Homo-oligomer: A and B are copies of this chain.
Amino acid sequence: MYMRKLTSQVVCNYDDPVAETKKGKLRGVKIDSTYIFRGVKYANSKRFHMPTPVEPWEGVKEALTYGYCAPELNTPVPHDAYNVPHFWFPQDEDCQYLNIWTQSLDQSAKKPVMVWMHGGGWFSGSAVEIYSYDGENLSVFGDVVVVSLNHRLNALGFFDLSAYGEEYKNSANVGLADLVAALQWIKENISAFGGDPDNVTIMGQSGGGAKVLSMLQTPAADGLFHKAIMQSGGASNGRNKNEKKLAMRLSELTLQYLNLTPDRIKELETIHFYDFAEAVGYALWTLNQESGERFNWGPQYDGEYYMGHPLEFGFREESKHIPLLVGSVFGESNNNYNVKLAEGSKNDWDEALQSKLMTDLYGDRADAIRSAFIEAYPEKKPVDALFIDKRSRKGVIEFVKARAACGAMPVYSWLFNLESPWLGGVVAWHNAEEPYMFHNAQYIETAYIPGVSEKLQDIMSGAWVAFAKTGNPNHAGMPHWDAVCPDKVPTMLFDRETVQKVDFDQKLMDLLPDPKPGFSGSGIMHAIFGVEPPKK
């Protein structure tokens, strides 16, 4: 991490540390025990086209600073930058960069490799957007090679131009293909960074979880990874059945806005990004107006490059051997910082207020939900029933059962439940587990609880690392963790006390009303629909 207190001389010389990739040499830094290579180019690309390998080079290239992040269609809004500390970095279409943290540059070291795919749906974010993503502490703690990567997002990654020529056949999946290109680069080069190309775990949160899942359903990624971890994302099938039609109409509207006839399609490859983004913003807005439907950026099922969500299209045989670790967090975006039901700290609300809020929210099911909540969570305060996530947790349960039922390799389920002392108590929010699995909890203001965090991050990072090493998350420092069966879901609950419980919250989930469709985090809605009205 850039901003942690250094205790020894950083090594960063012309010839040390240097790693030799297949295409040329890279110069990084060594900080205490960790070698860090930032901003390593893993592919090139032309707009709307599949990624291509990097060219060989002479001499030693610098890998000291992060690479450009993928451009976003809208200016980011720092709406959750306190509980989820953010780091923004310049954006450019030239964005296929990855970062590496490792304890060894020995070609024969064969350390497990853990590859982080960032969140932000398929439309925003980057490998460095969230402070917790920094891989140094996880690399040190687990003696593993940590990799994080940027790739093309939103209209640059998933714009359907298939109607405009064979060369754009995959344009709706090039952002997905970037992920494959990164895994291909890792396969070919990670041994130069002490990593084992035959033991690669992919992991990601939110949109990153969906990215991880998509790799299981992408034939081009077969053989490039061996284990997978999904955090608060990917389990539910968010696909719109009309996505192909919507995607094609979106392209049509974009061209119309730019006054580009199909014979001038090539011009779309070179116009300034802001002009393209403005046109796409208009097209998204118009598409929503005329169809009443929601268009999601993301990979498009084509039965060839991408085989679709397994709950709709089935798990591919070729990736059934991949062990999975799948989970979510207690509150997700329904936490009591994002959702303000009343003034002050939830833990100060009196019985009368709690009762009123429960009834406001759950109507005549309020008492039953309260009872089911207390039964499922005897260690929690009943007020927390107001802020429990259903969307992600229900999706996880359905997904892990289906995975176990398909005869695939082990799948393990988890839930992160630690309450932050912030504001007198905030239930675990979307992203709250990241500081813990990355072993960075002591660096995040709203994560750190003295005496609690040190222990929990050892347990949780330990499980992630054990899983990366062997496909089984069990380790000596935590209770025994059973794999999911088709008819039984053991879940590891990470909290002040970490315990496994079996089918403990099914009754509660059944009672909770279904969440409203769409994102509950309003701050990101604009990036999906393009709220700016047309200007021309």
Contact = CB atoms under 8 A, between A and B. Distances in A.
A92 B2 CA distance: 26
A476 interface: no
A445 interface: yes
A57 interface: no
Interface in A21-76: 29, 31, 62, 64-66, 68, 75-76
A424 B10 contact: no
Nearest to A448: B6
Given A9-B450, A65-B82, 7 more contacts: A2-B445, A6-B445, A10-B422, A12-B422, A13-B345, A31-B445, A78-B89
Interface string A495-536: 000000000000000000000000000000000000000010
A1 to B, nearest CB: 5
Contacts of A89: 78, 88
B450 A8 contact: yes
A87 interface: yes
A14 B446 contact: no
A65 B278 CA distance: 29
A443 interface: yes
Contacts of A12: 422-423, 445-446
Nearest to A67: B78
Contact of A77 (B4, B90, B272, B448): B90
A3 B278 CA distance: 35
Interface residues of A, number: 53
A184 to B, nearest CB: 26
Contacts of A345: 13-14
Contact of A92 (B7, B75, B82, B442): B75
Given A3-B1, A12-B422, A345-B13, A76 B64 contact: no
A481 interface: no
A344 interface: yes
A281 to B, nearest CB: 11
Interface string A333-374: 000000000001100000000000000000000000000000
A443 B76 contact: no
Contact of A90 (B4, B65, B78): B78
A421 B91 CA distance: 31
A163 interface: no
A81 interface: yes
30 contacts: A2-B3, A2-B445, A3-B134, A3-B443, A4-B4, A4-B5, A5-B5, A5-B442, A5-B443, A6-B442, A6-B443, A6-B445, A8-B450, A9-B448, A9-B449, A9-B450, A10-B445, A10-B448, A12-B422, A12-B446, A13-B345, A14-B345, A65-B78, A65-B82, A66-B81, A75-B90, A75-B91, A87-B88, A88-B90, A274-B278
